């Protein structure tokens, strides 16, 4: 059996994701919906603290003999183990006990992990890319936004949290609507999958619906500069409201094909003009979660070239709204996208990860066939529509970060 994705239980939801390649490995992922963006200001850093505590308590219990890790993102906390079919049930028992009925009395582990997180935050604070990412978010959404919490604020909070605060957060997350469990394996027996469902049924979960990811408005036509001392030149971002993870995968695939084609070397017009002015390239990035989506073009420039860069990219986008993209390059990009998707679908880890993303973001699993069908529908008319819908002057924000404010004309 079990060659297809299956929902094994409701509330908490349990899904089985089949591996395409033979292996004895079994992956178990437990997600708590609720991450850093769900925290009120005074709790900034609490979900992260809880994640460290739960994970360390589990690690110590099994003496770190199992491949395991945990992460907190904006909208969820993830815990996972990798085990084998033979040992899975015993390992899961220990894992689920640690996550669903934890012991909140180990002050030593708690104190130590608080120091660990503060060290982790300080490392991020001093890392250029993390620092830029934070300044960018703060400039776009404002300092008070939960998506732009400062490192310093979190450090201050984490010093104050107690084990009781952590236990309170845990109780809040331990609800049937907010827990999703995934199992990845190659052709397991139905009996094995039933055993897992029975294991989970032993725990008590409070009944509450899924966390509501309230949409966050992305600003439009903002022109802002943030100072970053000790940097040469200027980081320039042209930022547009993009798709969110709630949007269907078809839309996201089409938009990413557009952006990749636009920024590619063979989009000769924009590229040639940038090169003539000694600008190396234009990069593209998507920032997506369920609350908001951003899509942006960016580069780093010497002082004085900012206006030229912005004007070349804007003109290039305008032209594409009218004439579309280079058809050869578009064809090539679609072909590459198909190959990438096929490769991911054949890979145990990647297929498992991609399907988890689909399900957590409120979709059904997007299969290889779904992707192929979607790619077949993409043509240049589609691309023109995307250029008009997204990369419209009316939506564009211009953010610059650097030692000195550039004169944008
Ligand atoms: Zn951490």
Please determine, for residue 149, whether its predicted confidence score (pLDDT) is greater than 80. Answer: yes
| 48 CA to centre of ligand 1 in angstroms | 6
> Could you tell me if residue 407 is inside a domain?
no
Residue at a domain's end among 201, 233, 265: 201
What is the per-residue pLDDT across 300-355, written as a single tens digit (0 to 9) for each? 999 899 999 999 999 999 998 999 988 998 999 999 999 999 999 999 999 999 99
Residue pair 36/74 in contact by the 8 Å Cβ criterion: yes
Residue pair 283/297 in contact by the 8 Å Cβ criterion: yes
| 204 CA to centre of ligand 1 in angstroms | 27
State whether 307 and 186 are in the same domain.
Answer: no
State whether 289 and 334 are in the same domain.
Answer: yes
State whether 296 and 168 are in the same domain.
Answer: no
| 45 CA to centre of ligand 1 in angstroms | 10
Please determine, for residue 1, whether its predicted confidence score (pLDDT) is greater than 70. Answer: no
| 120 CA to centre of ligand 1 in angstroms | 6
State whether 289 and 378 are in the same domain.
Answer: yes
State whether 174 and 105 are in the same domain.
Answer: yes
> Could you tell me if residue 213 is inside a domain?
no
| 357 CA to centre of ligand 1 in angstroms | 21
| 68 CA to centre of ligand 1 in angstroms | 14
State whether 169 and 267 are in the same domain.
Answer: no
H and E: helices and strands count for the chain: 14, 11
Residue 369 belongs to what domain range? Answer: 223-402
Cα 355 to chain centroid, rounded = 14
| pLDDT value of position 5 | 94
| 101 CA to centre of ligand 1 in angstroms | 21
| 244 CA to centre of ligand 1 in angstroms | 25
Question: Region 227-231: what's the mean pLDDT?
Answer: 89
> Could you tell me if residue 217 is inside a domain?
no
Phi, psi of 333 (to 5 degrees): -65, -40
| Secondary structure letter of residue 356 according to DSSP | H
What is the per-residue pLDDT across 253-263, written as a single tens digit (0 to 9) for each? 999 999 888 88
| 281 CA to centre of ligand 1 in angstroms | 34
> Could you tell me if residue 408 is inside a domain?
no
| 153 CA to centre of ligand 1 in angstroms | 16
Please determine, for residue 2, whether its predicted confidence score (pLDDT) is greater than 70. Answer: no
Tokens representing residue 401 in the block: 């970060």
State whether 249 and 303 are in the same domain.
Answer: yes
pTM: 0.94
| 52 CA to centre of ligand 1 in angstroms | 6
State whether 74 and 195 are in the same domain.
Answer: yes
> Could you tell me if residue 218 is inside a domain?
no
| 114 CA to centre of ligand 1 in angstroms | 9
State whether 176 and 231 are in the same domain.
Answer: no
3-state secondary structure of 141: helix
State whether 44 and 157 are in the same domain.
Answer: yes
| 96 CA to centre of ligand 1 in angstroms | 20
State whether 28 and 169 are in the same domain.
Answer: yes
State whether 161 and 97 are in the same domain.
Answer: yes
Question: Region 156-185: what's the mean pLDDT?
Answer: 96
| 10 CA to centre of ligand 1 in angstroms | 30
Domain total in the chain? 2
| 93 CA to centre of ligand 1 in angstroms | 24
> Could you tell me if residue 245 is inside a domain?
yes
Determine the Cα–Cα distance for residues 164 and 105; give it in Å rounded to an integer.
Answer: 9
| pLDDT value of position 208 | 83
Give buried/exposed letters for 327-337 (b at 16+ CB in 10 A, else e).
Answer: eebbeebbeeb
| 14 CA to centre of ligand 1 in angstroms | 26
Residue at a domain's end among 169, 201, 233: 201
Please determine, for residue 275, whether its predicted confidence score (pLDDT) is greater than 60. Answer: yes
End-to-end CA, the chain: 64
| 199 CA to centre of ligand 1 in angstroms | 28
> Could you tell me if residue 78 is inside a domain?
yes
| 44 CA to centre of ligand 1 in angstroms | 13
| 227 CA to centre of ligand 1 in angstroms | 28
| 156 CA to centre of ligand 1 in angstroms | 16
| pLDDT value of position 210 | 81
> Could you tell me if residue 163 is inside a domain?
yes
Tokens representing residue 278 in the block: 């000694």
Please determine, for residue 99, whether its predicted confidence score (pLDDT) is greater than 70. Answer: yes
Phi, psi of 395 (to 5 degrees): -100, -10
| 247 CA to centre of ligand 1 in angstroms | 29
Q: What is the domain-level CATH number for residue 31?
A: 3.30.830.10
């Amino acid at each position: 059996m079990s060659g297809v994705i299956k929902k094994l239980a409701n509330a908490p939801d349990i899904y089985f994701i089949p591996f395409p390649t033979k292996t004895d490995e079994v992956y178990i992922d437990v997600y708590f919906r609720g991450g850093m963006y769900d925290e009120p200001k005074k709790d900034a850093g609490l979900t992260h603290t809880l994640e460290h505590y739960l994970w360390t308590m589990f690690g110590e219990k099994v003496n770190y003999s199992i491949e395991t890790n945990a992460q907190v993102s904006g909208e969820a906390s993830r815990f996972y183990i990798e085990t084998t079919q033979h040992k899975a049930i015993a390992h899961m028992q220990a894992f689920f006990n640690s996550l669903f009925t934890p012991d909140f009395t180990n002050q030593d582990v708690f104190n130590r992990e608080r120091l660990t997180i503060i060290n982790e935050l300080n490392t991020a604070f001093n890392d250029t890319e993390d620092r830029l990412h934070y300044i960018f978010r703060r400039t776009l959404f404002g300092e008070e936004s939960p998506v732009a919490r400062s490192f310093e604020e979190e450090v201050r909070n984490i010093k104050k949290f107690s084990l009781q605060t952590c236990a309170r957060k845990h109780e809040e997350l331990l609800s049937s609507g907010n827990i999703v469990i995934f199992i990845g394996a190659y052709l397991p027996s139905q009996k094995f999958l039933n055993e897992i469902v029975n294991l989970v049924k032993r725990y008590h979960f409070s009944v509450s619906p899924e966390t509501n990811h309230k949409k966050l408005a992305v600003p439009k036509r903002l022109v802002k500069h943030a100072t970053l001392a000790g940097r040469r030149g200027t980081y320039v971002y042209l930022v547009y409201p993009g798709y969110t993870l709630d949007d269907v995968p078809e839309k996201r695939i089409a938009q990413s094909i557009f952006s990749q084609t636009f920024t590619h070397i063979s989009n000769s017009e924009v590229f040639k003009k940038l090169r003539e002015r000694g600008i190396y390239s234009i990069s593209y990035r998507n920032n997506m979660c369920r609350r908001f989506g951003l899509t942006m073009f960016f580069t780093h420039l010497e002082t004085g070239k900012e206006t030229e860069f912005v004007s070349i990219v804007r003109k290039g986008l305008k032209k594409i709204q009218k004439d579309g993209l280079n058809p050869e390059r578009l064809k090539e990009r679609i072909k590459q996208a198909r190959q990438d998707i096929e490769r991911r679908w054949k890979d145990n880890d990647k297929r498992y990860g991609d399907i988890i993303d689909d399900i957590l973001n409120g979709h059904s699993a997007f299969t290889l066939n779904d992707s192929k069908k979607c790619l077949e529908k993409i043509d240049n008319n589609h691309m023109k529509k995307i250029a008009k819908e997204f990369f419209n002057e009316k939506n564009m924000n211009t953010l610059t970060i650097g030692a000195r404010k550039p004169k944008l004309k």
